[in-house]
Amino acid sequence: MPAHETSAGSAVKEARRILIVDDERESTHLVKILLEKIGRYCVLEENDAANAHQSARDFRPDLILLDIMMPQRDGGDVAAEIEADPVLQRTPIIFLTALVTKAEAAKAGFHVQGHPVVAKPVNISELIKRIEENLPAGCVPNGAER
């Protein structure tokens, strides 16, 4: 069997890099474990919103999961800083929030500051669906030049 195939015969894809920014450590760790268990994602947790921009610059994620309400900095401010960075400006952001209901977040086209929203507590199946919908199709994984 070639090295690039699994025992099931499907080609192994490189893990997509996901940065999750949320002040709730238990929540970020659980999401990290669940996403990485699938095998398609490499997840970095950042629990301090003040460090989110630098973490994104260092990690070069394919997508960012960003809490809206955090004590040090608002998620909207973090998103604006990322969008203003020429290196990161095309990185998709999905907001995570308890400010909306699951029904509101599930509505087609529901966005905050132009970004899709996933309601907390996070349903992992819904989160994966939103991640896959928002990952850039042509992006090269693992932070290679875009």
Higher pLDDT, 102 or 120: 120
How would DSSP label each residue in 76-114?
HHHHHHHHH-TTTTTS-EEEEESSS-HHHHHSTT-EETT
Residue 116, exposed/middle/buried by CB under 10 A (0-12, 13-18, 19+)?
A: middle
Contact 43, 35 (CB under 8 A): yes
What's CA 17's distance to the chain center, in Å?
A: 8
* 13-38: pLDDT as tens digits: 689 999 999 999 999 999 999 999 99
Is it the case that residue 6 has pLDDT exceeding 70? no
- Outline where the chain has alpha helix (H): 25-38, 52-59, 75-84, 102-106, 124-134
Residue 54 pLDDT class (50, 70, 90 cuts): very high
Query: All domains of the chain, ordered by start, with CATH?
Result: 16-134 (3.40.50.2300)
The answer to whether residue 53 scores a pLDDT higher than 70 is yes
pLDDT tens per residue, range 72-110: 899 999 999 999 999 999 999 999 998 887 777 777 667
Assigned token pair, 89:
């400006």
